[in-house]
Chains A and B, each alone.
Chain A
């Protein structure tokens, strides 16, 4: 019995020892586990925590255990929610929470827990605290990187899509400042003359600083990182104010004490050309991150490409606009009915092309003195004072434009300066109008501020000057020609009138003499005098009629009641007498033939048509004249012969000087007969037409419109 009891006790001791060992091992396992573990009582007091938990937060055991769990949570609602759910015996898994470490830092953790229930009561919680701080930091960094990347993509896309300069500047300056967290960003562009860089866009600058950096001279002192970046084409990064002052001591007085910042200046370079610079300022002393620097350089590179693209687009637009402008001017010059119209069109073009609201066109007069022909925005007094002045000598060959970018700086205009300045002119340009190397005038442009004339402006001005010069010469030549023609026509008309009287005396005397010596020895010579005199009279008539038509006064009519049939009978009788071996038949097809017409002129018409028919028709076929008064409201007269007219002559048969003379044949007249015939009929409101073929011969049809007395 005793022995059995001893054995049992021995067994129990072994069992207890084994149990204790297991318990120690478990305690050690829990205490030394790599994951944080703790227990919390029903009242929220921490009952136990392992070393990993203490290590996670940096507390000693006595600082942690025995304290309420919510004291270590940064977010009270989170732990309250966890405790509430555990109180409902819920199981929670990986609930994220933020814990305060002993050093004040925040640890991100994921908590999993459930409740140990003893005798149906909440005994304590079994909590696992997993440190996810590194993971959260990595997630955060990834989010930042992603947002950063999105912003960068947005900026580069905005730069790439920009079609306006302002859009590029906005993307490069405003959006980049926001993306990189820069306190200020400025973008300077180098001026055309390469002497200065001008601030095109800025954000974050104080007003006083803006004034100081708006225009930076690129040569001489004082120096600045923006200027250096432009001069050298190399980026400049300064990590601290001290580093900046070391490089640019002249900036020291401008710096705020105690302010920590760094500056990055990146030149905008395109195909070796430096367009400008972008300057960034960051309000912290930490060095620039490599990514930020790379990004800035990328943005500036895109900026350069975009500005260059826009410059080329602008050039193309300007080129197109200039082309349209010149096209418009050329069209206006062609349409212009006078030189004044050309000058007005030129002033429009000059104003648009050169951006000048004031301009003038002057043309050399007969004495080679420049006279104002058209102007805008110039006072009478100014014009009067400068008229006649020219920057070129009168006998200059191939003169070049003279440009005065700033009147105050030009010694050549010293004597005119008070006058020019009183007119409010600060810059002006003289552009010569040249024709065949000869100076024929000039056009002027005036500006109220100093003005740089660009190469494209000069080219455009030269093109405008060419158009105007050509027009000036054209209108001058036309005026000379008109004067000559008018003189000639007046001369012809006067001469014609004056020739008539002696010719009339000759013919009348010859008639008298002929009648007194019928069949006498003088009969034949007198006949020749009368015939030739008659021809000369007809030629004078034609010459005068032609001159009248050319002068625009038309054929004068003296309409009286006239019987065309009788008139034609007289014409035929007269021609028949002169051509006794030819046959001229007259057919009246019916109807009235009386109207109010100019009998003398109609005699001229039919005499011309029948004489032509006799002259050009076949000798044996005769001539037929048909008078038809049966048509409603009009009288038709056809004159027909069998002589065909060459087809190529028909379209211009009624034009002056188209007949035998034009064909190189010997001419009995001046080739004006049919032209004047047409004009006489037109003066009556009538018309003439011709149909001709080898088979049917030639028929001239005269249509006279109805008139009082003509049966309808």
Chain B
């Protein structure tokens, strides 16, 4: 029942984490793409990943592409949360920052329930 939030902005990461925890979900966070992949390799797979695109170390696009190349990770749903949708990968649900939390919660619940 874990939601993995990947965003380099700590305020956004923490606010979203609090929001989902308040909604009763288990939340894990990563400050960049590299941390996210490390989490995905070691921990049990989350139900959904909320992925920022523009991040240091490893950007969200690269994370998504590596997940798609990995049979195990490719099954994990991804919701892109970005300020620049033009840089998001295609075929994925994209929510533009600032994200409408009600819609985001609906989308997350579709995958978590």
Pick the residue among B9, B22, B92 that contacts A501 (CB under 8 A): B9
Instruction: Decide yes or no whether A572 CB sits under 8 A from chain B.
Output: no
Instruction: Decide yes or no whether B85 CB sits under 8 A from chain A.
Output: yes
A232 to B18, CA, bound (A): 113
A631 contacts across to B, CB distance below 8 A: none
Instruction: Decide yes or no whether A609 CB sits under 8 A from chain B.
Output: no
A91 to B95, CA, bound (A): 137
Pick the residue among B84, B91, B99 that contacts A497 (CB under 8 A): B84
Contact yes or no, B97 A501, CB < 8 A: yes
Pick the residue among A497, A512, A541 that contacts B15 (CB under 8 A): A512
Contact yes or no, B99 A504, CB < 8 A: yes
Contact with B along A528-564 (1 / 0, CB 8 A): 0000011001000100000010000100101010000
Contact yes or no, A512 B98, CB < 8 A: no
With both chains docked as a complex, state the minimum distance between the C-beta of A705 and any C-beta of chain B, in angstroms.
20
B91 contacts across to A, CB distance below 8 A: 560
A509 contacts across to B, CB distance below 8 A: 11, 15, 18
Instruction: Decide yes or no whether B109 CB sits under 8 A from chain A.
Output: no
Contact yes or no, B86 A505, CB < 8 A: no
With both chains docked as a complex, state the minimum distance between the C-beta of B65 and any C-beta of chain A, in angstroms.
16
A148 contacts across to B, CB distance below 8 A: none
Q: In the complex, which residue of chain A has the Cβ closest to the Cβ of B9? A: A501
Q: In the complex, which residue of chain B has the Cβ closest to the Cβ of A599? A: B93
Instruction: Decide yes or no whether B72 CB sits under 8 A from chain A.
Output: no
A497 to B98, CA, bound (A): 11
For chain B, residues 6 to 26, give those with C-beta under 8 angstroms from any C-beta of chain A. Answer: 9, 11-12, 15-16, 18-19, 22
Contact with B along A591-628 (1 / 0, CB 8 A): 00000000010000000000000000000000000000
A509 to B85, CA, bound (A): 22
A534 contacts across to B, CB distance below 8 A: 98
For chain B, residues 35 to 65, give those with C-beta under 8 angstroms from any C-beta of chain A. Answer: 54
B99 contacts across to A, CB distance below 8 A: 504, 508
B15 contacts across to A, CB distance below 8 A: 505, 508-509, 511-512
Contact yes or no, B9 A515, CB < 8 A: no
With both chains docked as a complex, state the minimum distance between the C-beta of A158 and any C-beta of chain B, in angstroms.
81
A431 to B74, CA, bound (A): 71
Instruction: Decide yes or no whether B108 CB sits under 8 A from chain A.
Output: no
B81 contacts across to A, CB distance below 8 A: 504
Contact yes or no, A508 B93, CB < 8 A: no
The listed residue with most A CB atoms (<10 A of its CB), out of B54, B88, B98, B103, is B98
Q: In the complex, which residue of chain B has the Cβ closest to the Cβ of A500? A: B83
With both chains docked as a complex, state the minimum distance between the C-beta of B104 and any C-beta of chain A, in angstroms.
9
For chain A, residues 492 to 508, give those with C-beta under 8 angstroms from any C-beta of chain B. Answer: 496-497, 500-508
Instruction: Decide yes or no whether A516 CB sits under 8 A from chain B.
Output: yes
B96 contacts across to A, CB distance below 8 A: 500, 541, 600
For chain A, residues 31 to 90, give those with C-beta under 8 angstroms from any C-beta of chain B. Answer: none
Contact yes or no, A556 B97, CB < 8 A: no
| CB within 8 Å for A558 and B88 given contacts A503-B98, A508-B99 | yes
B103 contacts across to A, CB distance below 8 A: 570
A505 contacts across to B, CB distance below 8 A: 9, 11-12, 15
With both chains docked as a complex, state the minimum distance between the C-beta of A494 and any C-beta of chain B, in angstroms.
10
The DSSP consensus for interface residues of chain A is: helix
For chain B, residues 75 to 91, give those with C-beta under 8 angstroms from any C-beta of chain A. Answer: 81, 83-86, 88, 90-91
- Chain A contributes a number of interface residues (CB within 8 A of B) equal to 27
Q: In the complex, which residue of chain A has the Cβ closest to the Cβ of B101? A: A511
The DSSP consensus for interface residues of chain B is: mixed
Instruction: Decide yes or no whether B4 CB sits under 8 A from chain A.
Output: no
Contact yes or no, B98 A515, CB < 8 A: no
Total contacts A-B at CB 8 Å: 70
Instruction: Decide yes or no whether B94 CB sits under 8 A from chain A.
Output: yes
With both chains docked as a complex, state the minimum distance between the C-beta of A126 and any C-beta of chain B, in angstroms.
134
A600 to B97, CA, bound (A): 12
Contact yes or no, A504 B98, CB < 8 A: yes
Contact yes or no, B97 A500, CB < 8 A: yes
A503 to B83, CA, bound (A): 10
Q: In the complex, which residue of chain A has the Cβ closest to the Cβ of B105? A: A511
| CB within 8 Å for A501 and B94 given contacts A508-B12, A508-B16, A516-B22 | no
Contact yes or no, A502 B11, CB < 8 A: yes
Contact yes or no, A504 B101, CB < 8 A: no
Q: In the complex, which residue of chain B has the Cβ closest to the Cβ of A533? A: B98
A503 to B96, CA, bound (A): 12
| CB within 8 Å for A556 and B98 given contacts A501-B12, A512-B18 | no
A500 to B98, CA, bound (A): 6
Q: In the complex, which residue of chain B has the Cβ closest to the Cβ of A559? A: B90
A508 to B92, CA, bound (A): 22
Pick the residue among B16, B22, B85, B93 that contacts A556 (CB under 8 A): B85
B11 contacts across to A, CB distance below 8 A: 502, 505, 509
B97 contacts across to A, CB distance below 8 A: 500-501, 503-504
A548 to B12, CA, bound (A): 26
A511 to B104, CA, bound (A): 12
With both chains docked as a complex, state the minimum distance between the C-beta of B62 and any C-beta of chain A, in angstroms.
18
B22 contacts across to A, CB distance below 8 A: 512, 515-516
Pick the residue among A501, A533, A558 that contacts B90 (CB under 8 A): A558
| CB within 8 Å for A504 and B18 given contacts A556-B85, A600-B96 | no
A502 contacts across to B, CB distance below 8 A: 9, 11
Contact yes or no, A556 B86, CB < 8 A: yes
Q: In the complex, which residue of chain A has the Cβ closest to the Cβ of B89? A: A558
With both chains docked as a complex, state the minimum distance between the C-beta of A51 and any C-beta of chain B, in angstroms.
136
B90 contacts across to A, CB distance below 8 A: 558
Q: In the complex, which residue of chain A has the Cβ closest to the Cβ of B8? A: A501
Q: Top 9 A-B pairs ranked by shortest CB distance?
A: A505-B11, A500-B83, A508-B15, A504-B98, A504-B97, A556-B86, A507-B98, A509-B15, A500-B97
Contacts A504-B81, A600-B96 known; 17 new A-B pairs at CB < 8 A: A496-B83, A497-B83, A500-B83, A501-B97, A502-B9, A502-B11, A503-B97, A503-B98, A504-B99, A506-B98, A508-B19, A508-B99, A534-B98, A556-B85, A556-B86, A558-B85, A558-B94
Interface set of A (CB-CB < 8 Å, partner B): 496-497, 500-509, 511-512, 515-516, 533-534, 537, 541, 548, 553, 556, 558, 560, 570, 600
Provide 30 A-B residue pairs closer than 8 Å at the C-beta atoms, listed in order of the A residue.
A496-B83, A497-B84, A501-B9, A501-B83, A501-B97, A502-B9, A502-B11, A503-B97, A504-B97, A504-B99, A505-B11, A505-B12, A507-B98, A507-B101, A508-B101, A509-B11, A511-B15, A511-B101, A515-B19, A515-B22, A533-B98, A541-B96, A556-B85, A558-B88, A558-B92, A558-B94, A560-B91, A560-B93, A570-B103, A600-B95
